[in-house]
Structure 1
């Protein structure tokens, strides 16, 4: 049973609401992409988010509306973590937005996702999101949906998103999730920094196993391709009947059918696992960044180095993957027998390629944190 998280401050007043999303550059020249991005997202804020919030007495705040002097990055992190409610515009998968969103997810606090139709990033496309079209009527519709979501949430509470439920997994004595900052969470059994991402380490180990399985499947297909390719080439040079060459291609297609199917299934599982892990890993990295070094504990640096090791394994295991996919695609025209295995291989290559960029991002952040410690 999923419980809800109520959003009310201790005095019974309106909750605080922080808005994360692309902002652009208000000082960029007119007509430039940066200025157009600023105008677009300001319009989303002013015509969709702000009026929906104000309908319920909530005053939303964007990063460029923070009036206090200080380190803007630290201020943003504090708002992301401490605000009662966050509304996140995930359009286009802006890296800063995804980082802040990952940090927010690990708090378990209410978050509403919105995004322009057709512009949702792959790694969070499965999370419930309010879509909007940039047309006048589309923005009005989105505003109404957000108003309804706020009304229900303020009345009945907000359901924690899947990443928060998976990452935290905190249970009180009666079996209900403990709220961040509650007495249950502040006791001796309260999860610390390492507890928050211990489960992620298991996921990373499974990711490594997935990559090993993918590399082995590719190696198997490559060996079979070399073996049968030599036979097909010899038949072509011997000027044998076309039926004999077609039979050889059919044998080749049959031989790679099972490993191609296995490759597709493994790549699908790998992509799904990476999608689930991405927000959690980014959130863990964010928590490490704002946690004093003397509170890290020995396991924290080990976790960071695990991400570096994962990057090395990905670079080694996935080397030449794109070229392999291109070469296989060229075979599909030889015979109908090859269509299914080639389709499976191509699908696997696309899925793996689309999500391995996350590993480079994780490792880059981990490298920066380790270097900062060394300095």
Structure 2
């Protein structure tokens, strides 16, 4: 059996572990949620993570333990990317934690997940996570699980986690690591960091296709609405009975039923892809920001252009989407026949508006990076 003593003698053993997770506020009022969060996660660090790392001669540090002066955000990014090992507490799916975790996973370096039972985010549920509960016995058990994970990793090598597995929950075929590396850690033909983002490129292409389908569906509904409006105007001018106008509304409701359902379906897929890709895209943008412009290559520029182009296409359809949202309530009051299609249109509008706003944040960051490089 390999002991901790023999493990500490391994030449390439991790020496520094950066711990990412919720921090809380140490200066918040007692019994406040922010103070409780701080004390809880500090306890997890001091009672579980740090002792497990110390057993194998690994120094664990949190963001609030970085002693160097400088920009804390830049320091955190560098610790996330450069540390030999990262242990991530994913409890509650904290957005900052998920961003840092996505950035870490791009590197392919050793990462261990832990999380409080019942608070694990669904989008990384496929990745093995050491779970703990807030009791002394469970915390002791979590520490031992981390020690076992460290021992196995130091003995057999840490299994890399690819962005594809993080972003889409895909399982690798055999869990094997990628191509072997040269003495400097990077084989000449091995994939670079952005090569690992092929899954994001595919996802963005699918979102672009979704946006095209959404635009066409909106145009179809708009054309049908215009036809119905013309028919209703003619009936009104002809002083047609209410029954004739209700029949016209029923026909209109029937004609837009299929495209309204399609709009809802595609909007749901679009919003789902957005939620799935968000942490990875933000991590990629953070990585690009940290990489000197002359070292990025064409892939990085194409990635930025892809984000900007997708956002431009989405913004073009946003005005039409918002117009549907504004008129939806009035349409429901016309007839009960319109309730189902209008409900689907309204749900699609809500999903798309939120997703496109998030996409705008991607594009804003991409434009800022492109502008800075050109300056």
- TM-score w.r.t. length of structure 1: 0.75
Task: Name the structure 1 match of 2:252.
Answer: 252
Task: Name the structure 2 match of 1:87.
Answer: 88
Task: Name the structure 2 match of 1:112.
Answer: 113
Measure the CA separation in 2 of the matches of 1:300 and 1:249: 51
* Structure 1, gaps ≥5 residues long: 1-7
Query: Counterpart of 2:88 in 1: which secondary structure?
Result: strand
Task: State the aligned residue count.
Answer: 354
Does 2:197 correspond to 1:209? no
Task: Name the structure 2 match of 1:4.
Answer: none
Measure the CA separation in 1 of the matches of 2:195 and 2:223: 44
The 1:292–1:354 alpha-carbon spacing in structure 2 relative to 1, beyond 3 Å, is same
Q: 2:124 aligns with which of 111, 122, 127?
A: 127
Measure the CA separation in 2 of the matches of 1:211 and 1:166: 24
* Higher deviation after alignment, 97-106 or 246-255: 97-106
The residue correspondences of 1:340-355 to structure 2 (distance < 5 A) are: 340-355=340-355
The 1:298–1:131 alpha-carbon spacing in structure 2 relative to 1, beyond 3 Å, is closer
Q: 1:348 Cα shift?
A: 1.7
Q: 1:51 aligns with which of 37, 47, 50?
A: 47
Query: Counterpart of 1:178 in 2: which secondary structure?
Result: coil
Task: Name the structure 1 match of 2:197.
Answer: 197
- TM-score w.r.t. length of structure 2: 0.75
* Structure 2, gaps ≥5 residues long: 1-6
Task: Name the structure 1 match of 2:4.
Answer: none
- Kindly indicate whether the alpha-carbon contact (under 8 Å) linking 2:261 and 2:341 is maintained by their aligned counterparts in 1: yes
* Higher deviation after alignment, 103-112 or 235-244: 235-244
The residue correspondences of 1:63-74 to structure 2 (distance < 5 A) are: 63-74=63-74
Which deviations, in whole Å up to 9, do the C-alpha atoms of 1:329-365 show, x marking residues without a partner? 4433444432332232222222222322331221222
Q: 2:38 aligns with which of 17, 36, 42?
A: 42
The 1:151–1:343 alpha-carbon spacing in structure 2 relative to 1, beyond 3 Å, is farther
- Kindly indicate whether the alpha-carbon contact (under 8 Å) linking 2:160 and 2:177 is maintained by their aligned counterparts in 1: no
Measure the CA separation in 2 of the matches of 1:90 and 1:326: 38
The residue correspondences of 1:262-281 to structure 2 (distance < 5 A) are: 262-281=262-281
Q: 1:296 Cα shift?
A: 1.5
Query: Counterpart of 2:61 in 1: which secondary structure?
Result: strand
- Kindly indicate whether the alpha-carbon contact (under 8 Å) linking 1:107 and 1:180 is maintained by their aligned counterparts in 2: no
Does 2:90 correspond to 1:101? no
The 1:147–1:329 alpha-carbon spacing in structure 2 relative to 1, beyond 3 Å, is farther
The 1:76–1:197 alpha-carbon spacing in structure 2 relative to 1, beyond 3 Å, is same
Task: Name the structure 2 match of 1:225.
Answer: 225
- Kindly indicate whether the alpha-carbon contact (under 8 Å) linking 1:88 and 1:114 is maintained by their aligned counterparts in 2: yes
Does 2:312 correspond to 1:312? yes
- Kindly indicate whether the alpha-carbon contact (under 8 Å) linking 1:220 and 1:259 is maintained by their aligned counterparts in 2: yes
Measure the CA separation in 2 of the matches of 1:336 and 1:232: 17
Measure the CA separation in 1 of the matches of 2:130 and 2:218: 38
Q: 1:103 Cα shift?
A: 0.6
The 1:144–1:265 alpha-carbon spacing in structure 2 relative to 1, beyond 3 Å, is farther
Measure the CA separation in 2 of the matches of 1:145 and 1:229: 68
Q: 1:45 Cα shift?
A: 0.9
Query: Counterpart of 1:190 in 2: which secondary structure?
Result: coil
Which deviations, in whole Å up to 9, do the C-alpha atoms of 1:100-155 show, x marking residues without a partner? 2321221344242647978x8xxx643229899xxxx9744985785586366446
**Larger Cα-atom Rg:** 2
Taking CA–CA contacts closer than 8 Å with sequence separation of 6 or more, which of the two structures ends up with the larger relative contact order?
1
The 1:370–1:13 alpha-carbon spacing in structure 2 relative to 1, beyond 3 Å, is closer
